[in-house]
A and B are shown apart, each in its own frame.
Chain A
Amino acid sequence: MMKWLRPLFRRSAVEREMDTELRFHFDQLLASLMAQGATRPQASRRARIEFGGIEQVKDDAREARAAGPAERIARGLRMAAKSLARSPGFTAVAVATLALGIGANTLIFSALDQAILRNLPVPDPARLVAFRSLGPNPGMDRNSGRKMSFSYPKYLDFRDHADVFEGVAARYPTDGSLMYSGATEMIDVELVTGNYFDVLGVKAAAGRLLTPDDERQPMHDTVAVLSYSYWQKRFGGDRGVIGRKVTINGMAVTVIGISAKGFQGLERGQSDDVRIPMTMKNLFTPTWPGGFNRRFWAWLNIVARMRPGLSRERAEAGVNVLYHQILENEAKNLPKGAGDLRDEFLKRRLDLLPAGGGISTNGQEGTKPFLIELSAMAGIVLLIACVNLASLLMARTAARQREMAIRMALGAGRLGVVRLLLAENLLVAAGGGVLALLLAAAVGKPAMALLLSGNDTALYSTTPDLRILLFALCATLLTAAGISLAPVFEARSTQLADILKSETGASAGRAQVRVRRALVVAQVAFCVWLLMTAGLFARTLANLRAVDLGFEKQNLVTFGIDPTIIGLKAAESVAVCGRVESAVAAIPGVDSVSFSNFGVSTGGMNIQSIKVSGYVPPHPGDASAAELSVTPAHVRAAGLRLLAGREFAESDRAHVRTAIVNESFVKQFFHGENPVGRTMLDDGGGLELEVIGVVRDQKFWGQRDEGQPAFYIANQFPAAVWFYVRTSLPPESLLGAIRKVVEGEATGIPVTRLRTVEEALDLQLSAEKQMMRLAGLFGLLATLLAAIGLYGVIAYTVARRTREIGVRMALGAGRADVLRMILRDVAIVIAAGLAIGLPTGLGMVRFVRAQLFNVKAADPWVLSGAAVAIGVITLFAGLLPARKATRIDPATALRWD
């Protein structure tokens, strides 16, 4: 035990000794008084008077025992605790306010930390890079437009010849089904190369991981690695599953191991459940089997680990030499008709993107921007809470000025008083911090689910780790420093004589009111920011809901099935879809049914390069359009609006020779002329098509979609399909019947996302809804805090001016005059807050502008709405003490003191 700490532990013994000693003294005093002839009660009373307050004596005695630093700090904190205990109301409010502020920040920071800041749990993540190459890619691209997909032959070139890397791995994420002990469920599958775990540096939690040897095994000997969280979720962490067979997409696969705990996957904000060698590809891609030797099928994401000591720029320069050679080779065999792309094609370069924090192949940053905004809002609320606390503390300090003055008169010393105040604030902040952590631990999960609804909350752990604790601690200490500032400053400037001689502390009081008023002005300004944000998102939401999506979204039900995931062959799969179609059509109340390879707001669309005679693309390779495979009834079932020509007939299905195009297509490729009867070439699919009709642009990606050139063809297609069921009944009422029918026809195939289209579209707005809800909630909370702050200041002003108001009323001022006088004060504070808050708010909302829709930051409705809401609430808060001022009775006020 360190010597200077010892007194802390000896404390109770010392206290006991002191008790005994003082008790002895008291008893002696009593005895001597009784010896002088006093009765026992008399003696006891006199002894007590003479002795003085025993606690005070003890306090002073403790103080006198000059002690080591530890004990002195402990004593200071003890005194502060005692002082706080004397005003439990203040302490409770202060601690609770802080706990909410810090709690929200801790929680949001832990989500933020996991979503963005944290690197993959692998050694040396800074050396991981992901490949991207902009520019034209003739042929098929199985990934959304971020140009992060590559062909398998290209991957091999990099793996075998790029010497700037220690290892190069590839992946293809897809859906699948897993059956184990009779139950089937959808899983996220990642097809990976055998060196995947090795390149990333992920270790096994149990069993072993994939090796390049596993890639060479024949299909029936395939193995799989489960992610730790899926192993926990599905198998309860049972080690016995290692070595067992599970059925994945109809194929028996042996589980060989579990990947390290904490490794969710490469894709930011997503987790893959099962990892399988690339060789299993055909099980998951029955519509485009094989392709391992196709140079122009881009489907793989590539990640690589750079050699140690190599910068990303150096590695990029090195690998591009190789990449150019690869392109030169490939350019010799460009697909038919892509010859005009040659120059552009050869200009492609390879970019190495940092991948240590995960990659984002779909261009969506996931929850990142949302979380940043969330933490900004939580930060503002914490700021407002601190400001309120500072104001509260100032009021408390003012009320305690006499106490402080007396302490100083008794020789406490200025430093001692400042120390006491600091200690009190530290205790409040620490209490708030601890309570916040408890709060985060207790309600973290549900709160996170509420905040991130619509996102995968399972990914976010809410157990605060060491860094979160540090963060909370920092927040606490900063807060302590922040709220200490004002009152300590005040305590320093306290003039003893001033306070002891006058009850109002005139000069200090006026300065204090000024500072507190400035604080309220700041609060009002912060509230403006939050309410403006809420208002802008409310407008955005309304605008988005009103968007014409190019099809009838009412009375429409959608769901998806994928017969191939239980291992059905293409022909069987087509048959199942056909059976489901007729069975659903037979449900009473169903008007028409169709299915398509594209689902409402689910993404995943084929972009095909096309040729239209008479159209010359401005840049070679720019002639491409979305190809949607549909069944003939689709125009009617999905509610597309036919502008010209006819819809598909059953006969169009047998041989695909016809297409329906959309408005954007007509505008871009037919210069706006009526295209019905003209022909086009589907390059990727090798189809010559006659245009038979034109439909309105359908906003495929939801409300924010700009519309893009697309053509529909009526063909037979297996794999994942999305059904469109049009009804004249309320669509919700059909959901149960549809599920029953589909499950009857497609046994063992999971039905996914069965819901009304309106619901599906609304789900897409969940981010905007959340922003609106949260900004509104935070805004109201902030406004409430500001109102309380304003109330405090005005009440204090009124109390301070009681005598002045009394004089005024005695001299003939009416109640209305007094009311006007006080409200003028209130109005000035609010107006100043708005004057600062509105322009700065316009600057702040720039950060969310990308998420707004058809609404300007300076939207007059939003601005005036925020101003009015804050004005009314705070004015009301100011009105209460103002009314109290009008009830001042001049006679009483003047007699006061």
Chain B
Amino acid sequence: MPSKSDLLQGTLDLLILKIAGLGPIHGYAIAQRIRQVSRDALHVQQGSLYPALYRLEERGYLQSQWRETEQGRMAKFYTVTKKGARQLAAECAEWERVSGGIALILQEAGQ
């Protein structure tokens, strides 16, 4: 499997929280958005997406609501809770820290 679809454990949670933080959104749209925003670099499989959604909901980072879509179908829309927003902020900071560190190593090692 090409590595582009593999996400680090925890990374998917971060992406979902980030995207859902922009406003109520259903599962399919989250997958689409990740793909679009990453310019096709990241594919989220349903097999990973929904377990992650449920896990986040159980932990109280997301809450959901059944609503009609523009096409008039019922879908489950997720929004980030306050607790989720705090978690997102913390994880973003952590990500910055780690990815900054990795970037540094890659640069240093390259020279």
Given A20-B74, A24-B74, the answer on whether A65 and B46 have CB atoms closer than 8 Å is no
B30 (CB) vs chain A CBs: closest residue: A25
Chain B, 34-55, contact with A by CB distance < 8 Å: what is the 0/1 string? 0000000000011100111111
**Contact between chains at B74 and A56 (CB < 8 Å):** no
**Contact between chains at B28 and A52 (CB < 8 Å):** no
A412 within 8 A of B: no
Q: Which residues from chain A contact B58 at a C-beta distance below 8 Å? A: 64-67
B26 within 8 A of A: yes
Partner of A52, one of B47, B53, B66, B76: B47
**In the complex, A52→B32 CA distance in Å?**
17
**Contact between chains at B47 and A24 (CB < 8 Å):** no
Residues from 54 to 111 in B contacting A, C-beta threshold 8 Å: 54-55, 57-59, 66, 73-76
A29 within 8 A of B: yes
Q: Which residues from chain B contact A61 at a C-beta distance below 8 Å? A: 50-51, 53-54
- Minimum CB–CB distance from B78 to chain A (whole Å) comes to 10
**Contact between chains at A24 and B55 (CB < 8 Å):** no
**Contact between chains at B46 and A52 (CB < 8 Å):** yes
**Contact between chains at A25 and B28 (CB < 8 Å):** yes
- A interface SS class: helix
Counting chain B CB atoms within 10 Å of each CB, the highest count among A18, A62, A65, A67 belongs to A65
**Contact between chains at A24 and B51 (CB < 8 Å):** no
Given A63-B51, A65-B55, the answer on whether A24 and B45 have CB atoms closer than 8 Å is no
**In the complex, A594→B27 CA distance in Å?**
101
Residues from 1 to 46 in B contacting A, C-beta threshold 8 Å: 26-28, 31-32, 45-46
- Minimum CB–CB distance from B103 to chain A (whole Å) comes to 28
Chain A, 19-54, contact with B by CB distance < 8 Å: what is the 0/1 string? 011101101110010000000000000000001100
- Minimum CB–CB distance from A491 to chain B (whole Å) comes to 24
- Minimum CB–CB distance from A471 to chain B (whole Å) comes to 41
A650 within 8 A of B: no
**Contact between chains at B74 and A22 (CB < 8 Å):** no
**Contact between chains at A52 and B45 (CB < 8 Å):** yes
**In the complex, A51→B74 CA distance in Å?**
20
**In the complex, A764→B32 CA distance in Å?**
87
A17 within 8 A of B: yes
Partner of A66, one of B47, B59, B74: B59
**Contact between chains at A22 and B54 (CB < 8 Å):** no
- Minimum CB–CB distance from A435 to chain B (whole Å) comes to 36
**In the complex, A29→B52 CA distance in Å?**
19
Given A21-B27, A21-B75, A29-B28, the answer on whether A56 and B59 have CB atoms closer than 8 Å is no
A60 within 8 A of B: yes
Q: Which residues from chain A contact B54 at a C-beta distance below 8 Å? A: 61-62, 64-65
A20 (CB) vs chain B CBs: closest residue: B74
Q: Which residues from chain B contact A821 at a C-beta distance below 8 Å? A: none
**Contact between chains at A57 and B50 (CB < 8 Å):** yes
Given A57-B46, A57-B47, A61-B50, the answer on whether A21 and B55 have CB atoms closer than 8 Å is no
Partner of A24, one of B28, B32, B57, B59: B28
**Contact between chains at B50 and A24 (CB < 8 Å):** no
**In the complex, A762→B35 CA distance in Å?**
89
Given A20-B74, A24-B75, the answer on whether A56 and B27 have CB atoms closer than 8 Å is no
**Contact between chains at A60 and B47 (CB < 8 Å):** yes
**Contact between chains at B76 and A21 (CB < 8 Å):** yes
- Minimum CB–CB distance from B30 to chain A (whole Å) comes to 10
**Contact between chains at A22 and B50 (CB < 8 Å):** yes
Q: Which 10 A-B pairs have the closest CB atoms?
A: A64-B51, A28-B28, A64-B55, A65-B54, A61-B50, A64-B54, A60-B51, A25-B28, A66-B58, A21-B76
A-B contact pairs, 14 of them (CB 8 A): A20-B74, A21-B75, A24-B26, A24-B28, A24-B73, A24-B75, A25-B28, A57-B46, A57-B50, A60-B50, A61-B50, A61-B51, A64-B51, A66-B58
A17-B76, A64-B52 provided; 19 other pairs, C-beta below 8 A?
A20-B74, A21-B50, A21-B75, A24-B26, A24-B27, A24-B28, A24-B75, A25-B27, A25-B28, A25-B46, A32-B32, A51-B46, A52-B45, A57-B46, A57-B47, A60-B47, A60-B51, A63-B51, A64-B51
* Partner-A contacts on B (CB < 8 A): 26-28, 31-32, 45-47, 50-55, 57-59, 66, 73-76
